[in-house]
Structure 1
Amino acid sequence: MENPVIIFGTGGLGRAALEIFESNGNVVYGFLDDDKKLHNTDIDNIPVLGSTTDQGFLKLIGQKCEAFVATDDSKEKQSIAKVLIEKRKVMPTNAIHPSAYIAKSAVLGHGNFINANVTLGAGSDISNHCILHSGCTVDHDAKLGDFVQVGAGATVSAHVELGENAFVGAGAVIITGVKIGKNARVGAGSVVIADVAKGETVFGNPAVKIEQ
């Protein structure tokens, strides 16, 4: 990456992304955040420049800067990504920890956060704007849709499919071949042995549907 990066969001994910970019030798130009109390302050020696809608900084993206959206709030992430793609004509960059293992045949989209010790197996397919937390495994030929989140230490086994905006909690295990629908949620530590319909929440070992 030749250009410096502007990180959208100053929370834990933003600070983790900062460490990833710096460990890869990338320059972070600054943060953008909508909390006005943070403006003109520094976080980990990097300035908070302004809000996520500040046109003065947005116009730099795609010309002099790259962008990374560092929030685990899916609606906020989708909103910022939409602005970057439709108005700036730029896809957010990936933040990939140097200790992550990514198979040569894995397919990786844009705007993904891949933290320490993540494993992406052969033929795995990660779409755009996903969050893969520390130590999770996405095994061979598994497929993740846009805006998927996989918690720390979770295992997404071979040939699993996770629909757009699906959430898998920390330490969960998704058994080989299972399909998780769009907007579905899997509770932390669960073992999922059967398909989960879109919008459903499951929890337990084996995981069962939780009524909303």
Structure 2
Amino acid sequence: MENPVIILGAKGIAHPALEIFNSNQVIVYGLLDEDEALYGTEINNVPILGHTEDDGFLKLIGKKTEAFVAVDDSKYRKFLVEMLHERRKVQPVNAIHQRAYISTDAEIGHGNFINAQVTVGAGAKVGSHCIFHTGAIIDHQAKIEDFVQIGAGSIINAEVNIEEGAFIGSGVTIVAGVTIGKGARVGAGSVVISSVGKNETVFGNPASKVK
């Protein structure tokens, strides 16, 4: 990546995303955040410049800089991604840790956060704007749609389908062939042995629906 990056968001995954870009010798121009109390402060000597919707900084994106959206909340993340599409006609770049393993025939979209020790197996398909925390395993032929978040150490087994906006907590195991519906949530440490419906929340071993 030749151009420097502006990171939208200065909390949550922003700090590890900055570390990923630094380790990949990508210059980070600065960070933007909606929290005015952060303006003028720094993370690892990189300044928090202003608001995520400040045109003075956004106008640089697509000309002199790239963008990465470092926001954990999927709704706000989606809002910022759509804003970049509409106002700057750009797709956010991926932040992929050097110690992640991605199979040569896996498919990866745009704007994903892929932290250290993440594995993406053969034939897996990953959409865009997903968050994969440290040590998550996406096994072969799994399909992960857009805006999915997968917690540290979770195991997504072969041919699992995780639909848009689903949240998988840390240390979850999802057995082969299961579908996790759009917007569903799986609590930390759960073992999912059957499919989960749209917007359902499940927890436990075996995971059951939380009312």
Task: Classify the TM-score, shorter chain.
Answer: over 0.9
Question: Aligned pair 1:86/2:86, yes or no?
Answer: yes
In the alignment, structure 1 segments of 5+ residues that lack a partner are none
* Partner Cα distance (1:188, 1:74) in 2: 18
Question: Aligned pair 1:47/2:47, yes or no?
Answer: yes
1:76-116 deviation line (CA, Å, top 9, x unaligned): 10110000012211000000000000000000000000000
Which residue of the partner structure matches residue 72 of structure 1?
72
Q: Which amino acid aligns with 1:53?
A: E
* Partner Cα distance (1:183, 1:10) in 2: 25
Shift of residue 171, structure 1, vs aligned partner: 0.4
The TM-score normalised by the length of structure 1 is 0.98
Which residue of the partner structure matches residue 4 of structure 1?
4
1:9-45 deviation line (CA, Å, top 9, x unaligned): 1113101000000000100000001111111222210
SS at match of 1:12: coil
In the alignment, structure 2 segments of 5+ residues that lack a partner are none
Which residue of the partner structure matches residue 136 of structure 2?
136
* Partner Cα distance (2:159, 2:68) in 1: 29
Shift of residue 66, structure 1, vs aligned partner: 0.5
SS at match of 2:34: coil
Runs of 4 or more, structure 1, over 3 Å off, are none
Q: Which amino acid aligns with 2:55?
A: Q
Shift of residue 48, structure 1, vs aligned partner: 0.8
Q: Which amino acid aligns with 1:72?
A: D
Which residue of the partner structure matches residue 159 of structure 2?
159
Q: Aligned-pair RMSD on alpha carbons?
A: 0.6
Question: Aligned pair 1:17/2:17, yes or no?
Answer: yes
